[in-house]
Structure 1
Amino acid sequence: MSLDSQANRPNEIWQADHSPLDIYLRNEPGPPARPWLTVIEDDYSRCIAGYFLTFDRPNTLNTALALRQAIGRKADPRWRICGIPEVFYTDHGSDFTSQHMEQVCADLQSQLIFSTAGVPRGRGKIERFFQTVSQLLLQTLSGYAPEGCGPATSPQLTLAAFEALLVEFLLGVYQVRPQRDLPGTPQTRWESAGFLPRMPDSSEQLDLLLLTVAKARRVRRDGIHFQALRYIAPTLAAYVGEAVVIRYDPRDMAEIRVYHRDTFLCRAICPELANETVSLKEIVRARNQRRRDLQQTIKDRNELIQTYLQVHQVTPEPPRQPAAPTTSPLRPARRLRLYENE
């Protein structure tokens, strides 16, 4: 199948692609950096079904997590596109041609097609999306930097703050904005077909798209320990001492999926993060910051102790020489007096 001709219905063909964005964001504690955006677009409607935003270069995990988001139902009611695509069309990069993606598409009964190496046919539509993002969103933000140029203004946005603006742009502008070569808007075109998208048999079927921890974990009496966090679930009480495999989304560490002997067991939550969305990077960053703070505290206290000792130091007296023992002069021994008449 080729993308030279348009799809005839929604979810017939989805395209995936990456691109560095023309903006610099704050990347503490390092210098500002340009983020990478992975998007999955429905070829028929031009709707964006899923995305992944990161400072890291593209890899299979980014694509898998974007596809997982694209297939599942979204929390925001404005973002209605979902379902399993009939064809998942990607470029020929090594990140896409992994056995992981082939296994995922086979399990979901979706045909995986790679573009010919060096001949990326049918990429114009998704490339126009990146141009639209640059022209209508990035140019209005601090840190905007056209390709080959540095930022015109100092970067002020963090990755999380920019992601919130990007989502609002997708749902509030791009999806409801008429396209010049498309009747209606992407949102109305995807909904106009009046079809029921094909969904996975269960939410656990999409867990193959999550990151799998290679080393098995042992269930303890107080739960599963991972990344210095503790995860609990009532089901785990019957598996204390057993080895389990966990899968997780690095963007949200509040919950992990637990598998026992290749069978889904339960979802375990971290009580400390139950009401929050905390990424793995944020946890690692907080842990490193805590370590640096402790090291600085120890250093400051050592300096304070050294200063105190220098200020209050008493000059020690030179050691006294032991006095020579005094000896009294020897008295002559008394001699016995002898008398003549004795």
Structure 2
Amino acid sequence: MAATATATAAQFGGIVKIARRQRILVGKVVHSVRQRVDNTRFSIEVVETGEASTKTYAWLDEGWLSGEITILPTRWDELDAGTQTLLQTEMDAATPEMRRIAYYRQPYAEALADWQEGKADLTKTLHQLFQDIANRRNASCAPQDYERPPKRTQLYDWTARWRKADRDIRALLPNHPGRGNRTARVCGTLADILDELIEAVFLTPIARTKVAMYAAATRNITTLNDEAGRPGAELMTRIPLPTRTMVERRCDKLELYDKAYYRKDPLKAAQEHLPVGLGPVAHRVNERWELDSSPLDILVIDAGTGALLGRPVITAVIDCATRLIIGWRISFEGESTLQIMLTLRHAIAPKLPIAGVKNPNPGRGKPSGIWVDNGKAHRSNAMTEAGRQLGFEVFWLPPKRPRLRGKIERWLRTLGVSLIHNLQGTTKSNPKAREHYDAEKDAVFTLEEITWLISYWINDVYNQREHRATRRSLVGLWRELAEELAPSLLSNVADLDILLTKVEDRKVTRKGIEWNGLLYNSPLLALLRNRPDFDPEQIQIRADENDISHLRVLGPGMPRYQSVPCTNKAYAKGKNLHRHLCAIKHAKVRAAEDRQLTEGDFELAWGELILAGKTLMEGNGRRKTLKRLGRLFALGIDPAAARPPASFRMEGVFDDEDDDGEVDAKPEAILEAPGATKVAALSDPVTTPDPDPAPEPGLGQAPRQAKPRVAPRKQPKPANERTPSEPVPAPATPVSAPLDMEADYD
């Protein structure tokens, strides 16, 4: 029978040393051990109710391993409340000073306990035992750090508490949190009034100060004290006025989340103080795209005049499964519908080779879904219609929550830290980071150069390196996932160009189709009008805002859109819609109210705008005006058409990584342009090498002065003094002043 009980105990749980009346904490309920039943079972009872039950040692093992059961010390009831609290906390939760004191007390408590139990060397006195411990500890210390043995009375108290806790070192921790007078300093009525005032005065969007909170509390309690004792009063007796320190401490004890939620913004409070998870995970290419726009932290100049144009805007698309940057566009358009559509076209279509860039970008294909914010351009009909016909869904994320598209937000920051902030003319991310650096004075890059540099960095640096999240190179992971499920393209590029343009209904006449003051006509429209069943109002057009030289027309019975050119080809060639609208505004200003505008007026108005804009650029006018001119004259440079800066050496520029694993650009490598004149950092793309270069300065020789790239200020040339060789003939009417131009053509 005994052999059977032993085998059962060994199979389902071994015998554990537990004494009678020992406390066991199951969850939050304290149980007391009554007696041992046999080798596999024991009986326990709930201390508060006395309810008895029989448990097995296997139950005890499973509960202890899962953390649900805690075996308390044998003499738990004899310990004070402070020691019980210390025994229920982790040792790591104590402060370093508390742990140091516990480690100091432990050898002395062990020596005294062994001496009391007769296990120590009885030939030595307690004083000698304690002195031996102190000498061993002082052997590796400096004389000024020698410690003395503790006092005999203190040591007896430590040892008694330590033995009652079954020699748990946590019983030797000093009870620092329990020190001091813990009685309430504020009466209950005053505390309730202060809490109500904090909620009504302090925790409000106005974000009143603690001084205002103290004044409100003093005024409110004074009013209550004046009415105390009267019939119907809230107080029967007067209460003391709070001090300013009391009110400030009560405000300081509020949780940081509550302060940020009620005093600032609930979304920012959640972003700063609530935990975040992993978020959605994409497992195949083109499953989830994230798109966002951001101004670049660098100032761009005009290539011809050197005038400061401002900060361009980059719009980029990232594939969440591989972190590959598959589409981008840089221009002065801002976060417009045109910018978004051209970025999507670059992301979906195969990428053409870029001069000076070694590695191609394999990103292409139609996405399953695009995650964007609630910007006006993202909510446009063109975006929705493109998603319907291309087969992807547009997800508009809640406002003020950039963390929901954290991958593209993090990449934009990486672009700034790794590349843009290391180039000359950078504005950094904020004035504090920029300090005293004069970005306007040192700006040397044009829009085409910035486009090429970013394209080079994306294809040859970022997409080639190992990502911290995937532990793979971005291009390698894309190719591996693309083999499992290859991306799909449209039947031809014309379908892509058509789908990423706006759809409008127009009426066809003998003159053709009128769109924004321009006429579009061709023999195709004549054939449509000659059909007996032709309805002139059943014509759909798709207009490309980046190229107004032609429209795509779809009529009844036509299987596909057909291109119809503008009748004024010389004017419309190379212009976008923004340029044309600015010409219309200027033509309306200079035309009589009773005269109808013609295409010739648009052409003449555009010539006046060019002359006025070039005059402003040569004179380095106001920054706001020049930025508008940058959007007016500077087309967005296609990455495939961009060219690197002349004599720009890229070897060894992006081969270092910082502590975060991000690649940093070497400023000294970026600033070098051997064989050409240096402009404080980067050689001028239009500057030719010096035919007779001077030798490098020696130790005692002054360096050569850098030639400024920005053109000096010039006085505006009157219209009647311009030479016939000007690219645009002088207008018959005077050119508008810069202020008029700025007000009318934004």
Give the TM-score of the pair, scaled to structure 1. 0.69
Q: Which one-letter code corresponds to 2:369 in the other structure?
A: V
What are the residue-to-residue correspondences of 1:284-299 with 2, within 5 Å? 287=607, 288-289=609-610, 298-299=719-720
Residue 349 of structure 2 is aligned to residue 65 of structure 1: no
Q: Deviation above 6 Å: which 4+ runs of structure 1? A: 212-221, 224-232, 241-244, 269-273, 281-286, 291-295
SS at match of 2:365: coil
Q: Which runs of 5+ in 1 are unaligned?
A: 303-342
SS at match of 1:145: coil
Cα distance in 2 for partners of 1:122, 1:229 equals 43
Deviations 1:293-337 (Å, cap 9, x if unpaired)? 8995752279xxxxxxxxxxxxxxxxxxxxxxxxxxxxxxxxxxx
> Are residues 244 and 103 of structure 1, via their aligned partners in 2, closer, same or farther at CA, if it must alter by over 3 Å?
closer
> Are residues 79 and 55 of structure 1, via their aligned partners in 2, closer, same or farther at CA, if it must alter by over 3 Å?
same
The one of 158, 176, 192 equivalent to 2:446 is: 158
Residue 562 of structure 2 is aligned to residue 265 of structure 1: yes
Residue 279 of structure 2 is aligned to residue 4 of structure 1: yes
* Range with greater deviation from structure 2 (2-11 or 123-132): 2-11
Aligned counterpart, 1:86: 368
Cα distance in 1 for partners of 2:328, 2:614 equals 35
SS at match of 2:487: coil
CA shift for structure 1 position 271: 9.1
The one of 407, 414, 425 equivalent to 1:132 is: 414
CA shift for structure 1 position 100: 2.3
Q: Which has the larger radius of gyration?
A: 2
CA shift for structure 1 position 181: 1.7
The one of 485, 488, 492 equivalent to 1:198 is: 488
Aligned counterpart, 2:300: 25
CA shift for structure 1 position 239: 3.6
Cα distance in 2 for partners of 1:266, 1:237 equals 11
CA shift for structure 1 position 211: 5.4
Q: How many residues end up aligned between the 2 structures?
A: 291
CA shift for structure 1 position 175: 1.0
Deviations 1:151-179 (Å, cap 9, x if unpaired)? 64411111122111111111111111211
Aligned counterpart, 2:404: 122
Q: Which one-letter code corresponds to 1:66 in the other structure?
A: T
Residue 473 of structure 2 is aligned to residue 185 of structure 1: yes
Cα distance in 1 for partners of 2:428, 2:518 equals 41
Aligned counterpart, 2:721: 300
Cα distance in 2 for partners of 1:152, 1:98 equals 39
Deviations 1:179-200 (Å, cap 9, x if unpaired)? 1222221111111121321222
Aligned counterpart, 1:14: 289
> Are residues 228 and 142 of structure 1, via their aligned partners in 2, closer, same or farther at CA, if it must alter by over 3 Å?
farther
CA shift for structure 1 position 58: 0.9
Cα distance in 1 for partners of 2:388, 2:349 equals 17
Q: Check whether the contact 1:3–1:121 (CA below 8 A) recurs between aligned residues.
A: no
CA shift for structure 1 position 217: 8.6
Cα distance in 2 for partners of 1:301, 1:22 equals 38
Deviations 1:84-114 (Å, cap 9, x if unpaired)? 1111111122321223212211111112112
> Are residues 47 and 220 of structure 1, via their aligned partners in 2, closer, same or farther at CA, if it must alter by over 3 Å?
farther
Residue 491 of structure 2 is aligned to residue 209 of structure 1: no
SS at match of 1:188: helix
Q: Check whether the contact 2:314–2:328 (CA below 8 A) recurs between aligned residues.
A: yes
> Are residues 106 and 301 of structure 1, via their aligned partners in 2, closer, same or farther at CA, if it must alter by over 3 Å?
closer
Deviations 1:247-275 (Å, cap 9, x if unpaired)? 3352xx497452142850137699989xx
CA shift for structure 1 position 48: 1.2
Cα distance in 1 for partners of 2:315, 2:292 equals 6
What are the residue-to-residue correspondences of 1:35-54 with 2, within 5 Å? 35-54=312-331
Structure with more of its chain in strand, by fraction: 1
CA shift for structure 1 position 41: 0.6
* Range with greater deviation from structure 2 (24-33 or 188-197): 24-33
* Range with greater deviation from structure 2 (119-128 or 209-218): 209-218
Give the TM-score of the pair, scaled to structure 2. 0.34
> Are residues 139 and 29 of structure 1, via their aligned partners in 2, closer, same or farther at CA, if it must alter by over 3 Å?
closer
Cα distance in 2 for partners of 1:87, 1:239 equals 38
> Are residues 60 and 23 of structure 1, via their aligned partners in 2, closer, same or farther at CA, if it must alter by over 3 Å?
same
CA shift for structure 1 position 289: 2.6
* Range with greater deviation from structure 2 (100-109 or 30-39): 30-39
> Are residues 218 and 40 of structure 1, via their aligned partners in 2, closer, same or farther at CA, if it must alter by over 3 Å?
farther
Q: Check whether the contact 1:115–1:121 (CA below 8 A) recurs between aligned residues.
A: no
Residue 395 of structure 2 is aligned to residue 113 of structure 1: yes
> Are residues 180 and 3 of structure 1, via their aligned partners in 2, closer, same or farther at CA, if it must alter by over 3 Å?
closer
Cα distance in 2 for partners of 1:254, 1:94 equals 23
Cα distance in 2 for partners of 1:211, 1:42 equals 26
SS at match of 2:376: coil
Cα distance in 1 for partners of 2:470, 2:352 equals 27
Q: Check whether the contact 2:369–2:392 (CA below 8 A) recurs between aligned residues.
A: yes
Q: Check whether the contact 2:501–2:543 (CA below 8 A) recurs between aligned residues.
A: yes
SS at match of 1:66: helix
Aligned counterpart, 1:338: none
Q: Check whether the contact 2:324–2:478 (CA below 8 A) recurs between aligned residues.
A: yes
Q: Check whether the contact 2:296–2:416 (CA below 8 A) recurs between aligned residues.
A: yes
Q: Check whether the contact 1:10–1:190 (CA below 8 A) recurs between aligned residues.
A: yes
CA RMSD of aligned residues (A): 4.1
Aligned counterpart, 1:145: 427
Identity %: 22
> Are residues 25 and 293 of structure 1, via their aligned partners in 2, closer, same or farther at CA, if it must alter by over 3 Å?
closer
Q: Higher relative CO (CA 8 A, sep ≥ 6), structure 1 or 2?
A: 1
CA shift for structure 1 position 230: 11
Cα distance in 2 for partners of 1:240, 1:29 equals 48
Q: Which one-letter code corresponds to 2:320 in the other structure?
A: D
Q: Check whether the contact 2:286–2:319 (CA below 8 A) recurs between aligned residues.
A: yes
SS at match of 1:65: helix
> Are residues 134 and 152 of structure 1, via their aligned partners in 2, closer, same or farther at CA, if it must alter by over 3 Å?
farther
Cα distance in 2 for partners of 1:202, 1:113 equals 27
